[in-house]
Every structure is written in C-alpha cells, then in structure tokens.
Amino acid sequence: MTTPRRHVPPGLREQLDLGYVFGSVQTFAQRPLVTELQQLAEWQADVAILGAPFDLGTTNRTGARFGPRALRTDAYDPGTYHLDLGLEIFDWLEVVDVGDAYCPSGMVQESLDNIRAKVAQVVELGVMPITIGGDHTVTWPAATAVAEHHGFGRVGMVHFDAHADTADTIDGNLASHGTPMRRLIESGAIPGTNFVQIGLRGYWPGADVWAWMGEQGMRWHLMDEVHRRGLDAVLTDAIAEAMDGVDHLYVSVDIDCLDPAYAPGTGTPEPGGLASADLLRALRRLARETPLVGFDLMEVAPAYDHADCTVNVAHRCIMEVLAGLASVRRDAGSPNVSATGPLR
C-alpha cells in the first residue's frame, strides 16, 4: 500500500482547531474536508462522513434537510477521547468529511441518484460511508450503493426506528420515508431474512404491511419486547439474525427510535421509545462486534429541537460508531497512519 497523502494546510488546520463555534470551516467533528475524488483516494481514509440534505419524502413535519448542517455546526464540541474505551478516536481511525450530495429543491429522482452516486464513490475506494440525512428515504439509495459494492444479498441490516418504513407507497409515492426498507428488500439489495428492526411502536403500518413483512422473512423487535427484555439482550438476537448467512452489516438509525423526551427534533415523534444511553451503547457494540460496512442517521429536524438535545444525541450516535471502529483497530494493533489529529 502506498503512503497516504493527508496534507492539511496550516490555515485550514488553524480553522479546524478553532472548533465548531469559532472556526470558519465547520465539518463533522472538525475533521478535514476532502471534496475531490482523487484527494479522497490519496487520503486513504477509513471513514467518510457525507450529508444527504433531502426531505422531500417527509409525510409530517419537514426540515430534516437541515440535519447534516446542524450536526456539523450546532452540536457542541465534546472532545475526541472516549472515556469508556480509553482511546483517542482519531489516533486509531482516519475520518474525513466529504461534504454533501447535491439535492436540488423539488427534484426527487435527481437527488436520490446523486446520493447513491456519492455513497458509491466513497465505498468503491474502500472507505466506509456514514450518511447523515435527511429523511429516511435517503437510506434507499445509500444502502443500495453499499450493497452494490459488496454484493446484493451479502449485506444484512439492523434498523432502529419507531416505524417499519415498509409501506408499498405513501400517497402513491414509491420514494417516501415510509417506503425505503421495502424498496431495498424488493430490489434484492438487502435480503428480507437478514433485515432486522428494533424499537418499532405506535399505530402504523397496518396489518397488510405486517403480513408482507412476514412473507419476506423479516424479523422485528417491538418496543414492548425491548422494554421487557432490555436492549442488550434484544441486540444479541438482532445481530445473529441480521448476520445469518451474510458477510457484512449496514446499520440505519431513525432518530425517532428515541423517545421524544430525548429527541424532540424530528418529523414524526412517537412516545414510548428508546433512551439515548441505551442507543449509544448499542451502536458502539455494533461497531465493535460486527463487520460494519455502512451506517446512516436520519430524520433530525433541527427546527423542532429543544436546546440542541436532538442534534447532540445524533452527533454522539455517530461518535459512538467511530469510537467502536477505532477500538477494533486498537485491539488489532493497527494505529492510524499519519494521523491528522488533533489530540485534545
């Protein structure tokens, strides 16, 4: 392998080090902004953060298009040393921000195509994509691009959500935040038998959709089960179910899997959900224990947030995934080559 080329000019480093509030360059976790495909190839990053500011599939409160911006600018800077794991995350994992997919206003198909293409560019270079939405429609093109690279039918899914998102159509629309999981299964990108959902609750979808889900061999763990057994026990089962006969795992999080007390800033809040502490630990565990090849976090709508609590917990969801991946590298004795830091 050639030596990575990871040049951060002094002026850019200064602005990144000034942090979220005072720096003029605002990226996820103040990581270097790598916008060119050739530059990304030369950088040899482990993970690339990308935004998908699309919410044209929303059925209730719009505004998730502002999620990628908010996670880069409104979350307070928590530092990068993980207390529980005892590691400096970016000493072990090289992470860059590659900006946003172009999602032009009112252009559904063009936006979804652009998201799919941007994720594909990342994954084809051997870099793991973390996609920030946007509404949950975004998972359709994002997970499809990952499955195309690793092989249709070779990637399982663990999906945290209040809603199944497996409707055939919403108001006649195939591309909605209520339909992406059905599209992924129908296309063969993710096998139904390896599609596992956690935290579902409430009053939708109807019996006909649940019947279809059962026919596909999907597995689900309703919030009642999580409440009764605990998330850790449920997650043990979910990992086994999602990984049965496949090689890789994709994890998708709708922030409304959390109880609105923890995440009010979302389009379709549903009471009775997960606690943020449980979700954060579950995501860290998934990153540590599974062959993770893609992750997304959807449905943060900052306009409905209170005191940035949704933005901060969504930000920490991604940080826990990064920390889990970094700990795997540490345990394997593979430090980040030419780490771009900074240490904090």
Rg (CA), the chain: 19
H helices, E strands: number in the chain: 13, 10
CA distance 183 to 9: 43
Q: Rounded to whole angstroms, how far apart are CA atoms 205 and 201?
A: 10
Which amino acid appears at position 93 of this protein? L
Strands of the sheet with 195-200, listed across from one edge: 95-100, 47-52, 128-133, 292-298, 248-254, 155-160, 195-200, 219-222
Could you tell me the domains of the chain? Answer: 10-153+245-283+290-331 (3.40.800.10)
Please tell me the predicted confidence (pLDDT) of residue 278. 98
pLDDT at 322: 98
- Mean pLDDT, contiguous 10-residue spans, the chain (344 residues): 88 87 89 96 98 97 97 93 98 98 96 98 98 98 98 98 96 93 98 98 97 98 98 98 98 98 98 98 98 98 97 98 98 77 34
* Residues contacting residue 74 through CB under 8 Å, at least 6 positions apart: 20, 302, 308, 311
Cα–Cα dist 297/253, whole Å = 5
Q: Which residues contact 332 (CB under 8 A, 6 or more apart)?
A: none
Amino acid 21: pLDDT: 77
Is the link from the previous residue into 156 a cis peptide, with omega within 30 of 0?
no
Crossing angle of helices 139-150/108-123, nearest 10°? 40
Rounded to whole angstroms, what are the CA distances from 337 to 41, 45, 180, 292, 328?
Answer: 15, 10, 37, 21, 15
pLDDT on residue 343: 30
